[in-house]
A and B are shown apart, each in its own frame.
Chain A
Amino acid sequence: MEGDVAGSSRGNGADSSARFRNSEELQDWMNEEGDGSADMSASDVDMLKRAWRNEKAAPEVLPFQTLLVERVREQILLMEDNLVAFSGEISEELMLSLYRMDLDRTLFLLRAYLRTRLNKIEKFALHVLKAQELWDRLSEQEQDYAQRFTDSLHKHFQQTVLGKLPYGYQSIMKQATSSEEDDMIPEPNLDTFVFCRSKRAIGAFQLDEKGDETVDLMADDLYILRYRPIKDLLDNDRIELV
């Protein structure tokens, strides 16, 4: 009996401390996120706009902005509720229509962001499915979508073409079973060129593996650079794509 009580209390203690640690971590993480972003004053809408632009300009699927999307979604819901609640109250027709415009713009932005991602996910579904690192960049819903999309694609190809081909040529991944690699999967071209801009001066930056090519990245200037070498700068939010 006593043992039970002790056991359960210890359990509780561990539980709460674990929860505490988690919330602390969360706090740290959120702080870090705040520091990492280009400027602290940027609103969620600004950040979503940047995420959309980056997503649109980058050849590959970028990590999903889970927290940001959640925050924007919450704000949208809140605003929708407010508008419903106020629609009888605000005698000012004008204010109401302005609020609605703001809401519509935010909705558009969120949809544009999500659609740009879906577009890319559809394009590179097989590729994304293959690599864990890329898979982890998708949100849960996107993973679900990518999975179902590939399943349908697979079924469709199987029924229309692949099933009627001779044995050895029926894979959706390979040209033939003799291919060593999966050579029928569309991949993003990471050696494409992108337009980018940095908020702060970054200084001399190396553009190729050998270090022959460097570029002096100045604040607010626009550059066209190869995507692969600047990928890390983008991940760290030190540059933005336009």
Chain B
Amino acid sequence: MASQDNQLLSLFSAAEVEFLAEDELINIVPSVRMDTLHMICGDYGPFRPQIPAQVPLWLGVALKKRGKCRIQPPDWMTVEKLTQVLEDEREAPREFQPLPFHYVEISRLLFDHSQDDISDFYLIRSLVEDVRDVRFHKVEKGLETLSGRTHAVKLKNLSAMEVNLIRPFIVKALESFYKHDSEDLVKQVDSERDSQLAAADRLPRRTLRPR
């Protein structure tokens, strides 16, 4: 649990992000009859053979593992849709295409557990991987545009896993920019102030800032 102790306290582990993704809803086609499940996280069912039902991903995967249902891949998980997304991702160097916030985790879970329910599985898998690579390359490119004057970064359509990957770096970078930025301000306006005071790192910057 070393990662919990250091200053990256706010970092979600990959398993935690997956846990969050498992609550996304998905359609299944049950092969068994089962009454409505009144769960803490909500009511699901009733389940009738061959009648599609909407359940959280974890429930779908649990049923699938026991051979009690088929999982219907989500709308965006088709060869046509993904080819289109990949093309658009490549064409727009500064934008991200709208995909579910948890698309990485969802596809991972489906690839692992419900491979036989996905038509063109190998093609789909390589398309998702390509999309992911293109997007991540863009994220890295985007990081280069950060500068000292960056106070807000807008990340339209960035997904959970992508957020998680860049979080440690980008937060540190922005923090450092912010810190040195405000130190500049302090020096310009208040240069005669006791240098010892400015050196005390933990003092809140606010108190030093001109009003």
Contact = CB atoms under 8 A, between A and B. Distances in A.
Contact of B152 (A72, A213, A242): A213
B181 to A, nearest CB: 10
Contact of B170 (A79, A92, A208, A224): A224
Nearest to A213: B151
Given A76-B40, A103-B40, A123-B9, A192 B58 contact: no
Contacts, number: 111
A223 B37 contact: no
Given A49-B23, A215-B152, A191 B163 contact: no
A112 B15 CA distance: 12
A119 interface: yes
Interface residues of B, number: 43
A101 to B, nearest CB: 6
B16 A112 contact: yes
Contacts of A15: none
B20 A49 contact: yes
Interface residues of A, number: 48
B16 to A, nearest CB: 7
A126 B37 CA distance: 46
Given A92-B34, A187-B202, A242-B160, A102 B9 contact: no
B40 A221 contact: no
Contacts of A242: 160, 163
B9 A119 contact: yes
Given A43-B42, A119-B9, A183-B202, A222 B171 contact: no
Nearest to A205: B152
Contacts of B179: 191
Given A49-B23, A223-B155, A224-B153, A94 B66 contact: yes
Interface in B58-84: 58-59, 62-63, 66, 68
Contact of A79 (B20, B40, B58, B178): B40
B162 to A, nearest CB: 10
Interface string A155-195: 00000000000000000000000000001000101011111
Contacts of B155: 195, 221-224
Given A94-B68, A95-B35, A192-B175, A119 B4 contact: yes
Given A102-B41, A207-B151, A221-B154, 11 more contacts: A43-B41, A45-B41, A56-B10, A56-B12, A103-B40, A120-B9, A195-B167, A208-B151, A222-B156, A224-B155, A224-B170
Interface of B: 4, 9-10, 12, 16, 19-20, 22-23, 32, 34-35, 37, 39-42, 58-59, 62-63, 66, 68, 151-158, 160, 163, 167, 170-171, 174-175, 178-179, 200, 202, 205
